[in-house]
Amino acid sequence: MMELSGIRREYVVGAETVHALDQVDLTIGGGEYVSIMGPSGSGKSTLLNVLGLLDRPTAGTYRLQGEDVSGLDDNALAAHRQQHIGFIFQFFHLIPRLTALENVELPLVLTGAAPRARRERAAKILESVGLKARLDHRPDQLSGGERQRVAIGRAIIMQPSFLLADEPTGNLDTRSGGEIMQILEQLNRDGIALLLVTHDPIIGGRARRHLTLRDGKIVGDDREAKP
Amino acid sequence: MKPLDVARMSLQALQRYPLRTAMMLLAIAIGVAAVVLLTAVGEGARRYVTGQFSSLGTELLIVLPGRAETAGGGIQGLLVGETARELTLDDTIAIARSPRVRRVTPLVLGAGTVSYGARERDITVLGTGPAMLAIQHWTLGAGAFLPEGDLESARPVCVLGSTVARELFQSGSPVGEWLKVGDARCRVLGTLAEQGLAGGFNVDETVIMPVASAQQIFNTSAVFRILTEAMDRDSVTAARRDIIEIVKLRHAGEEDITVVTQDALVATFDTIFDMITVGLAGIAAISLVVAGVLIMNVMLVAVSQRTAEIGLLKAVGARNSQVLALFLTEAACLSLLGAVVGIAFGAGGIWLMKLVFPVLDFAAPLWASLSAVGVAIASGLVFGILPARRAAALDPVNALLRR
């Protein structure tokens, strides 16, 4: 469960203070499928970064899985990210010199897991996203859709409760974008909460809960009636 | 994160930019090779000089009467040995019987005048035996040196130092001429080539005579010094023991002589050359520090190029300390590999130098190679800290904004 109350995030740009998030109260339960939409500069990405513990709110309280994480230091935040949150980015952010398998096992390498166990787990995950034949390919030998599938594999290898995706299909053609959405939705059906930032109303419309942001405020929070 | 994984990831990162990595390795390798080569030159020079010394008489033992209590003898004992019991020609002959002694000659010194016709000159009279020429490595200018034979027979012959010969005879040849030393007449057998100063004593201004003749002139039975040459450098210590034993037996069981060797002198030169070698190593080590600055530069570029990667690492849970460790390890790997290449360069360079200057026995001391590697790694780490800290401190949100 992610609980935000009175969250503000302000940047000082020159003499001006920009309110990227302005008094946001929000609760996201386990297993939800949420889309976050809004015009550019409305604070969608900032909200996702705050939820993902990459960014610290200027004020307000954030409880993640019941624990107050607002005042934690860098290392504690890294530990929480590692344990609870998987990230998927528009530009994949794969490490170019590592193979698909090595990219997927990276979070496990950071925890100090045994090489054999982590390799097996990474291989199994890559198989589940349909990349069984691509384990030893480097990112530049993979198509966009394949790269994003590797990134998904990396995001879920620590078995997080929340999957945070920032424009995951923004850099893909319609067909591979659709495939990525199917994989993400399958993961959601398996129990991971999926938070999706997107410009695309068709993609955003597939979620069961739609958040709309404008000027750092949540101006819409619709839930679909049927689950 | 396992250390092996840290090392593997660092090496993979270095592989990614082969040209840059190669240039860095080269910079460090040159520094390490410089240390290795310069210390090899210092060491080669040291070996050459001490080698020259041992060819010039590290086998030399000087026997003087009286007991100098100072360890190692030295100049003091050489100049002011107190005379408890005089050394004699018989002592000299007895020492010559030791199997560890190759040559022996007595030495009698005294002030005198030499005259030839109307020319007269104050000189030092040096009474000694025929072995003196070889022991002191003198070279003859003309004629012959003192004849072999009984040390105790006083013959009326002499050999002139080069200055004495020139001043008495100008350009004429003195060999075969008669002259007067003090009141005694003697015939000139030969002259020495110019020797210059040796041990503070100018041989060129002496007249050399058989030891018994000199003893007659100075009316003494004593010998000032006995010069001895051991069979080889290794038997110097044994020869010294032999000499002390022999003379002790002859002096009623009393150990009343001092034997000075050249080892102390050679040890001094050893120390001097070691200092020079250390100095050279220090100068060469500066290039390692320069290489360290280059490492810092390259690592700073690497951090800014890999900003997105650092952001990603943090997003998937890397602690700041892990990011720091990754970049520090990368710098350390660079310098370690560079040091290994440098040692190889150094070995090749030494091989080449030996080929060009076969006289000198170049060899880098082990401490120099080890400390070169140590300094290389240390400078890699020290100069890697700043970039690594910068990487660790990156804000993940900003870092991930880059594609």
Lowest average pLDDT, out of A203-217, B60-74, B98-112, goes to B60-74
> Residues 35-64, chain A: which have Cβ within 8 Å of B?
49, 52, 54-55
Enumerate the residues of chain A whose CB falls inside 8 A of the CB of residue B313: 106, 110
Enumerate the residues of chain A whose CB falls inside 8 A of the CB of residue B316: 81-82, 87, 106-107, 110, 154, 158
Q: Residue B83 — pLDDT band, cuts 50, 70, 90?
A: very low
Q: Is A112 on the interface with B (CB under 8 A)?
A: yes
Q: How far apart are CA B240 and CA B242, in angstroms?
A: 5
Q: How far apart are CA B399 and CA A86, in angstroms?
A: 17
The one-character DSSP state at A5 is: E
Same domain for B390 and B287:
yes
Interface test with A, best of B316, B326, B395, B402 (most A CBs within 10 A): B316
Question: Over chain A (227 residues), what is each successive 10-residue block's mean pLDDT?
Answer: 91 87 90 91 90 91 90 90 92 91 92 90 92 90 93 93 92 91 93 92 90 90 71
Lowest average pLDDT, out of A139-148, B21-30, B227-236, goes to B227-236
Of A84, A23, A73, A76, which Cα lies nearest the Cα of A51?
A: A84
> Residues 75-104, chain B: which have Cβ within 8 Å of A?
none
Nearest-CB residue to B320 (from A54, A74, A154): A74
SS3 for B260-325 is EECHHHHHHHHHHHHHHHHHHHHHHHHHHHHHHHHHHHHHHHHHHHCHHHHHHHHHCCCCHHHHHH
- Domain A32-54+75-223, CATH 2.40.50.70 — does that match? no
Enumerate the residues of chain A whose CB falls inside 8 A of the CB of residue B319: 74-75, 78-79
Show the tokens assigned to A166: 């920032």
The residue with tokens 């009343």 is B256
For residue B374, the distance in angstroms to the closest alpha carbon of chain A comes to 29
Same domain for B151 and B45:
no
Nearest CA in chain B to A155: B316
Enumerate the residues of chain B whose CB falls inside 8 A of the CB of residue A109: 1-2, 5, 9
CB spacing of B315 vs A52 below 8 angstroms: yes
Please report the pLDDT score of residue A124 as a whole number. Answer: 93
CB spacing of A97 vs B13 below 8 angstroms: yes
CB spacing of B15 vs A97 below 8 angstroms: yes
**Contact indicator for B393, B309 with CB cutoff of 8 Å:** no
End position of a domain, from candidates B261, B287, B322: B261
Of B295, B287, B289, B313, which Cα lies nearest the Cα of B387?
A: B295
Of A64, A2, A9, which Cα lies nearest the Cα of A213?
A: A9
φ/ψ (deg, to 5) at A66: 90, -10
The residue with tokens 């290392």 is A75
Same domain for B391 and B284:
yes
Q: What percent of chain B has pLDDT over 70?
A: 92
Write out the residue range of the structural domain in which residue B277 sits. 3-52+267-401
CB spacing of A55 vs B397 below 8 angstroms: yes
Dump pLDDT digits (tens) for B234-277: 788 888 889 999 998 888 888 888 888 877 667 777 888 888 88
Same domain for B131 and B12:
no
φ/ψ (deg, to 5) at B21: -60, -40
End position of a domain, from candidates B217, B233, B261: B261
Q: If you count residue pairs, one on A and one on B, with CB atoms under 8 Å apart, how many are there?
A: 68
Lowest average pLDDT, out of B187-201, B230-244, B294-308, B376-390, goes to B187-201
Same domain for B132 and B7:
no
Enumerate the residues of chain A whose CB falls inside 8 A of the CB of residue B315: 52, 54, 81, 87, 93
Given a cut of 60, is residue B82 above it in pLDDT? no
H/E stretch holding B160? strand B157-160
Please report the pLDDT score of residue B78 as a whole number. Answer: 52
Please report the pLDDT score of residue A210 as a whole number. Answer: 92
Query: What pTM value is reported for the model?
Result: 0.68
Instruction: Give mean pLDDT, residues B119-123.
Output: 90
Same domain for B88 and B228:
yes
End position of a domain, from candidates B261, B296, B315: B261
Same domain for B64 and B43:
no
Q: What angle do CA B171, B175, B178 make, to 5 degrees?
A: 105
Nearest-CB residue to A98 (from B12, B311, B317): B12
Instruction: Give mean pLDDT, residues B221-228.
Output: 90
Enumerate the residues of chain A whose CB falls inside 8 A of the CB of residue B399: none
The neighbour count for residue A20, using CB atoms within 10 Å, is: 24
Q: Residue B73 — pLDDT band, cuts 50, 70, 90?
A: very low
Same domain for B344 and B220:
no
**Contact indicator for A34, A209 with CB cutoff of 8 Å:** yes
Given a cut of 80, is residue B111 above it in pLDDT? yes
Please report the pLDDT score of residue B298 as a whole number. Answer: 84
Given a cut of 50, is residue B70 above it in pLDDT? no
Same domain for B168 and B142:
yes
CB spacing of A95 vs B309 below 8 angstroms: yes
CB spacing of B319 vs A158 below 8 angstroms: no
Query: Mean pLDDT score of chain B, rounded to an integer?
Result: 85
Nearest CA in chain B to A93: B312
Nearest CA in chain A to B323: A110
Same domain for B307 and B384:
yes
Lowest average pLDDT, out of B124-133, B160-169, B263-272, goes to B263-272
Please report the pLDDT score of residue B84 as a whole number. Answer: 60
For residue B324, the distance in angstroms to the closest alpha carbon of chain A comes to 13
Q: Is A111 on the interface with B (CB under 8 A)?
A: yes
Nearest-CB residue to B314 (from A78, A89, A154): A78
Dump pLDDT digits (tens) for A150-180: 999 999 999 999 999 999 998 899 999 999 9
Same domain for B155 and B8:
no
CB spacing of B315 vs A49 below 8 angstroms: no
More confident residue, B401 or B238: B238
Q: Residue B376 — pLDDT band, cuts 50, 70, 90?
A: confident
Same domain for B252 and B164:
yes
Nearest CA in chain B to A47: B397
**Contact indicator for A18, A10 with CB cutoff of 8 Å:** yes
Nearest-CB residue to B319 (from A52, A78, A95): A78
Please report the pLDDT score of residue B74 as a whole number. Answer: 47
Please report the pLDDT score of residue B264 as a whole number. Answer: 65
Nearest CA in chain B to A102: B9
Given a cut of 80, is residue B402 above it in pLDDT? no
Nearest-CB residue to A109 (from B5, B308, B321): B5
Nearest CA in chain A to B325: A110
Please report the pLDDT score of residue B72 as a whole number. Answer: 45
Residue B178 region, left (φ>0) first, then alpha (ψ -120 to 50), else beta?
beta
The one-character DSSP state at B194 is: P
Please report the pLDDT score of residue B178 as a whole number. Answer: 93
CB spacing of A158 vs B317 below 8 angstroms: yes
Given a cut of 90, is residue B130 above it in pLDDT? yes
For residue B297, the distance in angstroms to the closest alpha carbon of chain A comes to 22
Q: Residue B198 — pLDDT band, cuts 50, 70, 90?
A: low
CB spacing of B397 vs A82 below 8 angstroms: no
- Count of domains forming chain B: 2
For residue A37, what are the contacts with CB-CB under 8 A and spacing of at least 6?
Answer: A44, A197, A198, A199, A201, A204, A210, A211, A212, A213
Nearest-CB residue to B316 (from A91, A112, A154): A154
Instruction: Give mean pLDDT, residues B41-65.
Output: 79
Nearest-CB residue to B315 (from A83, A87, A111): A87
Nearest-CB residue to B317 (from A79, A95, A115): A79
